[in-house]
Amino acid sequence: MKVAVFGSEGQLGVELVRVFNERGHQVRGFSRRSVDICDAAQVESTVAAMEADLVLNAAAYNKVDVAETEPQVAYAVNGLAVRNLAVACRQSDARLVHFSTDYVFDGMAGRPYREDDLVRPLSAYGVSKLAGELYAQAYCDSALVLRTSGVFGPAGVRTAGGNFIESMLRLAAKGQPLRVVQDHVASPTYAPELARVTADLVESKQTGVFHTGGGEAISWYDYAAKIFAKAGVSPELKPTTEREYRTPARRPKYSALENTRLAALPIKAFPSLDEQIALYFQNR
């Protein structure tokens, strides 16, 4: 297939380019600098010119707290730009894969979320990501929407946004006590494994919404403890709560994902979180 990857320089994008290249597809990556996905005409001409069979959208606005003060910007990138990609795919008969987030849920279920659970985002960021899901499915009958959680990949060492592991290591290096929320639960996901699962789903011609979280529900505090244990460092790590650590954006307290549809397929599941963290340190 001829594959276009938007957001190709991000943690997930670089892995998508690598995995689809390794599987023999013709891949072109497009960074934020090379193609503005908010420009409908530019997106349509790009997809048409390369005669893409598959479009992977790993581009996103991820500044969860900042989005509260600039919701229009978040919506433009995470919502309307996905519409641009979906329209371009429809015009060119290309398939669209769009990556979404666990933040489309409100976290009140107290258990990992399945694909058929009710969505109810709590923040401008979450609303914008849900809009992207809806646009993808509205314009492309064969769209594949992959919700994921806490993505971390080796490219996070050099990308501007980084990831949770790199943030924890930077803070630990300062030698000051660290406070991490213990009452928020997610399912961290290793980017190379997410790219592998994406390729498996694409090649088996899956459509609709899939949860592709890392497979283990864990609090951010316990996740930080695992990171430090693997890194061989011992900062003073203390638990805190949402009440003590307020942020501009509301976040779902329990947004771990249950990969229900994925588990029903003959596709290799995600490794354990310990294995994913070990792979990260091996490849960073």
Neighbours of 208 (CB within 10 A): 12
- Coil, strand or helix: which one is 250? coil
Contacts of 162 (CB under 8 A, 6+ apart): 156
Burial 219-238 (b: 16+ CB within 10 A, else e): bbbbbbbbbbeeeeeebebe
d(Cα 54, Cα 1) in Å, to the nearest integer?
A: 7
For residues 94 and 53, is the Cβ–Cβ distance under 8 A? Answer: yes
The angle, 0 to 180 degrees and rounded to 10, between the axes of the packed helices 191-203 and 273-283 is 110
Question: Are the beta carbons of 129 and 100 closer than 8 angstroms?
Answer: yes
Residue 254 DSSP class: B
Structure-token pair, residue 115 = 């694909």
Residue carrying structure tokens 């670089």: 14
Question: Of the listed 125, 135, 221, 223, which one is catalytic?
Answer: 125
Q: Nearest CA to 251 among 102, 76, 71?
A: 102
Is 280 among the catalytic positions?
Answer: no
The residues annotated as belonging to the active site are 125
